Structure 1
Amino acid sequence: MNADADPPFAEVYQRGREILGDEADAVITELLAAHDGYVDAVLDTLAVAAEESDPRQYVQMDIETEAAARRRRQ
């Protein structure tokens, strides 16, 4: 999944690249999957990440937290 293939997510990929760098598409795709494609949740995560000293670490932690929550719900 990327901004070209799925235009509704263009804002997410654009913002993600601004915060995480131009090579962030795979991480953004993981983040979208972790939040079941819920754009507002992903944008919220990216907004917080932008304020962190290591935005990629924050995003990775969010992905792992969402995965753990999903496992607990199953």
Structure 2
Amino acid sequence: MSKELKTLNVDGMSCSHCENSVKKAVGALNGVSNVTVDLQAKKVSIEFDSEIVSLDIIKETIEDQGYDVV
């Protein structure tokens, strides 16, 4: 098991619906153990097992929700 914690800058999130959609989508990925969203700072922190899910998949999942990982 290879736990990692990454914080991504995400543009486009502005409300609790945005926060919930990112948390739900990323949290549903196999290998992700925790997701926290800071709307004011426009940051998403993800704790995940890099042997199960890649950071690229996580970024793609956030972008699929309509937000930009910068």
TM-score strictly above 0.5: no
Coarse TM-score class (shorter-chain normalised): 0.3 to 0.5
**More helix, by proportion:** 1
TM-score (norm 1): 0.34
**More strand, by proportion:** 2
Which of the pair has the greater relative contact order for Cα pairs under 8 Å at 6+ separation? 2
The structure whose Rg is larger is: 1
TM-score (norm 2): 0.36
